[in-house]
Amino acid sequence: MEKIRGFEVAHGFEDKKINLPIRKTKYSAGYDIEAAEDTVIPSFKKGMNPTLVKTGLKAYMQEDEVLYLYNRSSNPKKKGLILANSVGVVDKDYYGNPDNDGHFMFAFYNIKDEDITIKKGEAIGQAIFQKFLIADYDDAQGERVGGFGSTSEK
């Protein structure tokens, strides 16, 4: 069977009992993503970096597709968790990159007064595959050289 789009367990997580994402209903756009391990997200303090919550997953897709990572709608109110980048963008060429095999993570800030613990297997966000368009003058020829945050590296 030809692979069109989907999820796989990323290198280094093969023995961690990672569940591949599923949609809960036939009309759901998003695949529910779980945490790969217990993670403490500290209460926000000015100047701190977001906490990266590992998923243990990588995603493959077609050349004109992207995977968007969204927060769960209940996370801000119930847990005080907001995504540091509002929406995560996982490009096709992130899959299998030499730095981290394409392992994607969620970057959270915790706006509650107390630390929040995410448990392994807990749903942390949603992933949605989507087509994208390019501009008439586009002539992108670059190739990815690394993993997380590497798109602008030369």
Q: How far is CA 58 from CA 72, 82, 91, 100, in A?
A: 19, 22, 11, 9
3-state secondary structure of 79: helix
Whole-number Å distance between alpha carbons of 70 and 77: 15
Sequence-distant (6+) residues with CB within 8 A of 34 are: 18, 19, 21, 55, 120, 121, 122, 123, 124
Tens-binned pLDDT, residue by residue, of the chain (154 aa): 899 999 999 999 999 999 999 999 999 999 999 999 999 999 999 999 999 999 999 999 999 999 999 999 999 999 999 999 999 999 999 999 999 999 999 999 999 999 999 999 999 999 999 999 999 999 988 775 765 555 555 4
130: Cα within 13 Å, side-chain hemisphere: 14
Position 141 scores a pLDDT of 81
- What's at 113, amino acid-wise? D
Position 148 scores a pLDDT of 53
Q: How far is CA 7 from CA 15, 103, 131, in A?
A: 16, 10, 17
Pair 36, 55: CB distance under 8 Å: yes
Q: Which domains does the chain have, with CATH numbers?
A: 6-131 (2.70.40.10)
Pair 68, 118: CB distance under 8 Å: no
Smallest Cα–Cα separation from 115: which of 39, 64, 62?
A: 39
3-state secondary structure of 77: helix
List helix spans (H) across the chain.
Answer: none
